Every structure is written in structure tokens, then in C-alpha cells.
Amino acid sequence: MTPSETFAELLRGPEPFLALAPMQDVTDLAFWRVVAPHGGADVYWTEYFRVHGDSRLERWILDSILQNPTGRPVVAQLIGNDVAALVRTAIELQRHPIAAIDLNLGCPAPVVYRKCAGGGLLRELNRIDAILGALREAVTVPFTVKTRLGFASFAEFDNLLALFARHDIDLLTVHGRTVAQMYRPGVRYDLIAQAVRSLRCPVLANGNVYSAEQALSVLAETGARGLMIGRGAIRNPWLFRQIRQRQMGHAVTLPSGRDVLAYIGQLWDSQVTPEASESAQVQRLKKFMNFIGEGVPPAEQFLHEIRRVSTRHDFFRVCEEYLDHESPITLEPLETAQPQGLPG
């Protein structure tokens, strides 16, 4: 089967499916290579292709499609507001082995939404309407959308749902926060459930899925077709496997501290670039550690120390101090940890 046929089967299938969320400059090809052997998602979303009048497909994102190491379908995500450029890019991407085209209507990064892209488009429903119509006409593989509940208020969601209902999209992923919320607490799973009830297309639930038990609770509360997981999968690459274990009624297999330490080592090796200095490499890994550290007890103390290292030696010294043991670790985030936002 083609990737799009495999994806279409997942959309119709009897069991909820699991997707890796797109997170810019994090969920790249190198990260896919690390996370897939730990259980992996059923579908992978690329980082977003930036689309404008003079844009070309970013090679490093295209490589995640052409060198896909996961064996699972890949959805190519677009971000932008230029209708003609979005159509051009969608047509070009369909020459490659993609499962679907996805439109990003949720990125909360100010540098993005101030340009009326990502979550910024949620303030301009007429513009979204024109984009959805043009892309639906141009896209012959499944066409999907990732959105937030609104730009500033949950009250905006009713109008958004009415807009999505007018277009023949194949899947809607709903991140249960507004753009203004960024990644702060208060995910509205009840509004994701409203989308499930209101739309003909399947809906994926997204936002703060952090454990197998809680994942099943979100599925039950929302009735969603599946889950899209981002930060939780960075923190715990075993999470997809753990959710499947719970779905089958099995006990969850927890990693040991040394398993987590090995995962961090794999991330380090995957992110090494010859031209990067040691300090730059450490800073790069801190982007991952901001999430992993939320689940390493005591999280506040671990994050305080890891955010202050500047050498490889000190980076692994701190990691080993907290993780060089065989005790199981849940990797569930602690309330004292302060999550860091990512565009996506």
C-alpha cells in the first residue's frame, strides 16, 4: 500500500491511533531515528514547511520524508497564508511518499502568529476559508488540519468548527488550548469532545498527554479517533508502547534510570554535527532536557542543574548523578517543573 492508503486505513480502523506531533527544530529526522525503536507512533508529522511566495521545500524536512526510518506513514505539514504558494507547495510535496498534507493553524510562537501564520490565522476566518478551499481542490491525498481552540478565547471555537465543517477535510487535530495560552495549564478536553460530536471527519486529541493511564482517560473523555503527542514523547519515548500495553489490558513496562540515561546518550549522538562547538551541542541538548527533566525526580533540582552546565562532561555528570540506577521511573511530569514552549 502507498503511505496515503495506509493512513486512510488508520483513519477508518477500529482502534485509536497514535501520532507524533510536529515540533519545530525538535521532531526532525534525527529524533525519529531515536524514538522509533522505543515503540514509536503509528503516524509521524513533519516539522512545518515554511510557505511564502519565494519558498522552496526545506531540504532537512524533506529528508525526513525521503529517508523515513520509522516504517510508518509521514504527514507533511505546511505553515503560511499565501494561497497560491500553499497550493504550489502541496502539489510539489505530493510527488514524494507522503501520507497526507496538513495545514498548521495552531503554532503559538509570536514570531509566527504576528505574520498571520499558524495560530495567527485563527483571527482571520475568511482567509482560512479560502486556504482550505484551495488546498482541498489541489490535494489528492488525505488533507488534514491542526488547530487550536481559538486565538484568545475558547468562545471562538464554535465559529472555527462551523468553518471546518464546510470543508471536506479528512482529519482535524485539536490542541485543547488557545494560542494565547501557549503551553500553560488548562487543556479543554471537553471542547475536543465537542469537535468529535460536531464534525463528520475523525478528530485527534492533542495537548498534555503524559502517561498511558491519562491517555486512555483522554480518549474516553473526548471520543477522539486517536492521540497526537509531542512533549510527552520527548520526555518519555516509551509512551506510545506504554499506551498500547494499557489498551490491551497489560501492565505498563517502565524504563529504569539507566534506560533513560541511555536514551539521553542516543539523543546526544543523534544531534552531533561536525561544525558545532561543544557548548552549542550542550545548548542543543538542553532543548530536549527541558522536557525530559520534568520527569526526573526531583525535577526542580535536576532542571536547575542541567540548565547551568556548559560542557559535555558536566552535562553527563549531572545526568548520571540522577539517572545511573536500575530503579523504574515513570517519567511523568511533576508540578514543580516548568515546561518550556516550542513552536509547532
pLDDT of residue 335: 57
pLDDT of residue 273: 85
> Using one digit for the tens of pLDDT, what is the confidence trace for 283-329?
999 999 999 999 999 999 999 999 999 999 999 999 999 999 999 99
Q: Which residue(s) pair with 172 in the sheet? A: 145, 203
Of 244, 280, 284, 245, which Cα lies nearest the Cα of 264?
284
Question: Quick one: which H or E segment has residue 177?
Answer: none
- Average confidence (pLDDT) over 84-108: 97
Of 272, 187, 282, 287, which Cα lies nearest the Cα of 229?
187
Which superfamily does 3-247 belong to?
Aldolase class I (3.20.20.70)
Neighbours of 244 (CB within 10 A): 18
Q: pLDDT over 70 for what percent of the chain?
A: 97
Please state, in angstroms and rounded to a whole number, the distance separating the CA atoms of residues 237 and 193.
26
Say whether pLDDT at 17 is over 50. yes
Highest mean pLDDT among 3-17, 212-226, 267-281: 212-226
Say whether pLDDT at 235 is over 60. yes
pLDDT of residue 212: 97
pLDDT of residue 272: 84
List, by residue number, the catalytic residues: 107
- Binning the chain into helix, strand and coil, the percentages to the nearest 5 are 45, 15, 40
Please state, in angstroms and rounded to a whole number, the distance separating the CA atoms of residues 2 and 16.
21
- Average confidence (pLDDT) over 131-150: 98
pLDDT of residue 338: 42
Residue whose C-alpha cell reads 516509551 in the numeric block: 238
> Using one digit for the tens of pLDDT, what is the confidence trace for 319-339?
999 999 999 999 999 753 444
Please state, in angstroms and rounded to a whole number, the distance separating the CA atoms of residues 308 and 282.
10
- Average confidence (pLDDT) over 197-213: 97
Please state, in angstroms and rounded to a whole number, the distance separating the CA atoms of residues 85 and 314.
46
pLDDT of residue 341: 45
Of 211, 209, 246, 253, which Cα lies nearest the Cα of 231?
209
Please state, in angstroms and rounded to a whole number, the distance separating the CA atoms of residues 293 and 322.
10
- Average confidence (pLDDT) over 175-188: 93
> 57: which 3 cell numbers?
521545500
> 174: which 3 cell numbers?
485539536
Task: State the helix-helix crossing angle for 257-271 and 312-323, rounded to 10 degrees.
Answer: 160
Of 301, 283, 292, 181, which Cα lies nearest the Cα of 239?
292
Give Cα 216 distance to the centre of its chain: 18
Q: Please report the DSSP string for 81-118 in residue order.
A: S-HHHHHHHHHHHTTSS-SEEEEEE----HHHHTTT-G
As a whole number, the mean pLDDT across the chain is 94
Burial class (CB in 10 A: 0-12, 13-18, 19+), 15: exposed
Please state, in angstroms and rounded to a whole number, the distance separating the CA atoms of residues 18 and 9.
13
Q: Please report the DSSP string for 6-24 in residue order.
A: HHHHHHHSSS-EEEEPP-T
Whether the CA torsion 69, 73, 76, 77 is positive or negative: it is negative
Q: Which residue(s) pair with 78 in the sheet? A: 49, 103
Of 47, 41, 48, 46, which Cα lies nearest the Cα of 19?
41
Please state, in angstroms and rounded to a whole number, the distance separating the CA atoms of residues 172 and 148.
10
Cβ proximity of 218 and 227 under 8 Å: yes
Say whether pLDDT at 66 is over 60. yes
Q: What does the radius of gyration of the chain's CA atoms come to, in whole angstroms?
A: 19
